[in-house]
Structure 1
Amino acid sequence: MLADPAFRSSLVTFLAFAVFIVPTTFVISLGAALLVARTRVMQSFFRSVFFLPTACSYVVAALIWKMSIFSGIRSGLANGVLGWFGIDSIPWLSLADPPWYWLVIVTARLWLQVGFYMILFLAGIQRISPTLYEAAAIDGAEGWKVFRHITLPQLRATSTAVLLLLLINAFQAFDEFYNILSTFGTYPPYARPPLVYLYYTALGSGQDFGHGSAGAVILTLIIAVIAVAQGRILRLGDRGE
């Protein structure tokens, strides 16, 4: 499997996906949590609105993104909006350059998971003692200084858990790629993450269960190594965290 260029290409696809989706989800989730935490009116409502997409199936969301929003025809929502500004329709799901399908996949994943991680950050923010902010206000600190020196350090344990979950979920990307790009059957390497590759290897026409199992073991080991390394780097589990 390690000598298979298609498998290595699928790992590169994962890296490209993870490099964008992990920090983007982290920042948007944290920002949404901070905004909701500062809201004094209808906080429960906004918390529910952000979290609601989490209850949606990845398959359903992928099909909505593919058939309604980014359908690639002028009647699709995205191209309909572009048409109002006189912009020609964009073939969102075409595998040719530019790779617009990445925007479709990434936005679907963001819509599905931002609310879940926002709730985790919101729980961490609510655990921070108000006396820390009161002391900062007495010292004249506000805005970015308060966030940098109080909020962010107090969220270190939550941030570590969120980053770890985001990375594992990125490795497990399957539904978006499979359902959004399923029109094209077998995928070129640059549009196929590891799980999609293993699916076609083990359950495709060749039904190579040996290589499929070997790839699954390799993927599990990679996730385990990255998880342990990330926990060590961020000192997950230290006392007082």
Structure 2
Amino acid sequence: MADDGALEFDDLEDVFRSATKYVRQISGKLETEKLLYFYGRYKQASEGKCNTAKPSFFDFQGKSKWDAWNKLGDMSKTQAMMEYVSLLSNIDQEWNTKVLSEASGAGEESSSGPGMGVAVSVMANPDADLRAEDKTVFDWCKEGDVDKVREMLVSGAASVNDLDEEGLGLLHWASDRGLTSMVEMLLSVGADINITDGDQQTALHYAVSCGHTDMTRMLVERGVDQTVKDSEGHTAADVASDDMKLLLLGLAQDSVEGNA
């Protein structure tokens, strides 16, 4: 790992948490192979040995993610964190310096709290060098360009509730990437908060599975239907980690008390 002495963190877990935030910021530029590498080690470090059933044969992307995690077997959480940070250091030796320099002015992309792994609900576009004129509204959404997406939607160049060739809507992509400002804008121009993808998953399924606490809170507060089940019969709570389940329960309790 490059220049460990430059890492101004208390321990490996601090380094790991900061690494996951940085990886999420650059995920749109990473190759599928690296995304899966990060994903598997994030899950191993966060939850330990793979403990979920293998996705169906037809769920190619879900199966790829499952394989990336499952093949790590009994790898320790410490080893998983070390390998995660090591790959990031090989990709960008100055990542830690960039994280530290941005910390004081961090916005939504680095303030959503712990538990954020790389967004790989769907593999990123491998062509990170698309010309601006060749980009679709989905490409601009993945990059987090709120103004460009709004411009295309308002002008009629794109529709807010369309699905792309992967079967995802703009709301799914924004939720997957943790782009709260993007979701706020999409909802303001008529996005269906309960829109489902090709697997019948809502944006909430994506938010909880990626560990995006701010996104999850926003969607729940905006009234997303938490009872929607995907093609496997799972609600968002069913696919959530224990921490995210607690968050959903807390939000539900807040709602009950607020209506009392």
Q: TM-score per shorter chain, which class?
A: under 0.3
Larger radius of gyration: 1
Given the two structures, how large is their TM-score scaled by the length of structure 1? 0.25
TM-score, length of structure 2 as denominator length: 0.23
